[in-house]
Amino acid sequence: MGYSDETSASEARGLQRERRDLEVQRCAAAEDVCGRQVACVFALTTALALMGLDWTPLTTGVTRRRLRPEYLQVVVGPSDLKPEDRIARKRRGRVYGRFSVTYFKSGIPLKTIEVAPGVTCTSCAFTWLMFAQWLDLEELVKLGDAMMRRYTLHEMMTIQDFVDFLDWVDEYARRNHRYAPRGIMKCRKALPLMAQGTDSVAETMLRLILIRYGLPIPCVNYQLVLRDGSLVFLDLAYPEAKIDIEYDGRHHRYQWARDAQRTMKIRAEGWEYFQVTSEMLSDDEQMFMVVVLVARCLKERTGKDYLLPQPLTLEQAADQRRAVWHG
């Protein structure tokens, strides 16, 4: 469920800010003792923490030791590579004082942001591209969505920002007669599946399940003005059919009374309401039942039968979306 009040949003931002501030302190201390001739540019898992994102590779199948949060990941651009970096990249980690640092080399110029005085990390889009070689398509979509949250501690990204960045990478590689970085094709495939303004990873997962079964891509955090003049945000919506699909996470269990009143107001506007819990989201059979009910409601209200007999792979769904984009 999208944040129905500012309290939940403030709590989420508070946790992200606390995590980010701790990582800023750690990176600033490491910078003081690392001894490099140029300032460190932090990347990958470290960059995610510095930007306050709510997605980490710990939630995925990525098991590479060098990506773990106990390491500080540093990326070196093509013009900044020093002899000591070449040596460091051959090791699992290099220790500066109490900090373990792992180095990565980029074949394209770095795109960076300064998150605090003296602390710099790779930009959102650059970090996303770096992760692409280790993540599967679904996790890459989740990461892209996380960079476009409604509530962020960094400047919110848009789909067009990612498109422009990938175009710049391709153009740089072409002009300099180089191969494009690993993972860029996967990034291109992820773009049509990503959405701006989500509130959680769970909402991304729910949207992808609907898409894989052939249902149209729902609107994310659709704004609905109720008859009393109040404004609510619907997690996933099909406005033309007046269908609302809400994710009910753990933090909503303590506000059931308020959410029940909100649900009644939405239904009073003629909307059909479907609620998905975290337990349902992790159960394939229950999620299929949800998809069937939503598809049936769409057919009743639009006359169109979208439900596929078998779900598409995410790669197949991405190819269909790309065809729509370029059609």
Instruction: Give the residue-averaged pLDDT of 30-50.
Output: 82
Instruction: Give the residue-averaged pLDDT of 48-52.
Output: 94
**What pLDDT was estimated at residue 86?**
43
Which carries the bigger pLDDT value, residue 269 or residue 86? 269
- Treating both helix axes as pointing N-terminal to C-terminal, what angle do 314-326 and 137-146 enclose, rounded to 10 degrees? 60
**What pLDDT was estimated at residue 257?**
65
Burial class of residue 65, CB neighbours in 10 A (0-12, 13-18, 19+): exposed
CB 195 within 8 A of CB 145: yes
**What pLDDT was estimated at residue 108?**
94
Which carries the bigger pLDDT value, residue 180 or residue 62? 180
**Gap between the Cα atoms of 281 and 294, Å rounded:** 15
**Gap between the Cα atoms of 148 and 154, Å rounded:** 10
**What pLDDT was estimated at residue 5?**
41
Which carries the bigger pLDDT value, residue 192 or residue 154? 192
Question: 20-36 burial, b if ≥16 CB within 10 A, otherwise e?
Answer: beebbebbeebbeebeb
The model's pLDDT over 107-118, given as tens digits with 9 standing for 90+, comes to: 999 999 999 998
**What pLDDT was estimated at residue 48?**
95
The model's pLDDT over 198-257, given as tens digits with 9 standing for 90+, comes to: 988 999 999 999 999 999 999 999 999 999 899 999 999 999 999 999 998 755 455 666
Q: What are phi and psi of 223, to 5 degrees?
A: -90, 120
Instruction: Give the residue-averaged pLDDT of 263-278.
Output: 94
**What pLDDT was estimated at residue 151?**
79
| pLDDT over 70 at 36, yes or no | no
* pTM exceeds 0.85: yes
CB 212 within 8 A of CB 311: yes
CA dist 206 → 34, 74, 297 (Å): 43, 34, 17
